[in-house]
Every structure is written in C-alpha cells, then in structure tokens.
C-alpha cells in the first residue's frame, strides 16, 4: 500500500463530471506483477496487551514506505516532492523546472 501511495494511486477529480478514476479499470493500483520480491521475517514475541499475546503487523510496515521512497528520490536527484504519487510526469516536470532554474541535474 505504501508503494502504491508513493508511486501510483491517486484520485483524479474532473470539474463538472466527478471522479475520473471511479473504478478499478481506471484506478492505477499495483498488481502482483508490479511488486518487487519481499522477504518476510517473522519474529515471535509475547505482547501482554494483545489478544492471546499477539502483536499487530499488517499496516505497520506501510507507514514508513511512502516517506522512504520520497526520500530516496530526493537523495537521487536533489528535489524534494511534497505531492505524490511520484508519477514519471511529475518527476520529469520537476527535473525540467530545476534545470531551467540552473540546477545541475
């Protein structure tokens, strides 16, 4: 989910007609074929607060993903993005603007 937020998923609103991508056929989500291989490491622990001493996991790994991707792009090209997803068009536009302003990218 974090990769989707950072790189693809965006609700596009068109004035007068509503949302352009109001269904799965137009909403750009990652599919299994788009995802990198992910190694999962399970660590056993006993959490006295959780039910049956369980710890939650699911969305906790999603929280740092989008900022990590945005920071990696900033480290690579020197441009900090405040809006996402980082579509190729947005990145290229930012690079071209930086070059117009004298940046050596």
Q: Is position 97 annotated as part of the catalytic site? A: no
Q: What is the reported pLDDT for 19?
A: 79
Q: Return d(Cα 40, Cα 58) in angstroms, integer.
A: 12
Between CA 73 and CA 20 the distance in angstroms is: 28
> How many structural domains is the chain composed of?
1
**Residue 44 domain flag:** no
Lookup: tokens for 91: 């990145």
Round to whole Å and give the CA distance between 93 and 91: 5
- Residue 28 belongs to some domain of the structure: yes
What is the pLDDT, as a whole number, of residue 15?
82
**Tell me, what CATH number does 25's domain have?**
3.30.365.10
Enclosing domain of residue 9: 2-36+59-100
Residues in the chain: 105
For 12, the 3-state DSSP assignment is coil
Spot the catalytic one: 15, 44, 59, 89: 59
Q: What is the pTM of this model?
A: 0.70
In a domain, 68, yes or no: yes
Would you say residue 50 lies in a domain?
A: no
For residue 63, pLDDT beyond 90: no
CA–CA gap between residue 81 and residue 89 (Å, rounded): 13
Least confident stretch, 14-18, 26-30, 31-35: 26-30
More confident residue, 57 or 81: 81
In a domain, 51, yes or no: no
Q: What are the tens digits of pLDDT across the range 72-85?
A: 999 999 999 988 89
């Amino acid at each position: 989910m974090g990769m989707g937020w950072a790189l693809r998923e965006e609700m596009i609103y068109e004035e007068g007609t509503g949302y352009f991508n109001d269904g799965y056929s137009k909403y750009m989500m990652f599919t299994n074929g788009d995802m990198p291989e992910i190694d999962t490491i399970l660590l056993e622990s006993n959490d006295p607060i959780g039910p049956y001493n369980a710890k939650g996991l699911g969305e906790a790994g999603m929280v740092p993903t989008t900022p990590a991707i945005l920071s990696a792009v900033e480290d690579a090209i020197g441009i900090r993005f405040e809006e996402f997803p980082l579509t190729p068009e947005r990145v290229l536009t930012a690079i071209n603007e930086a070059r117009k302003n004298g940046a050596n990218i």
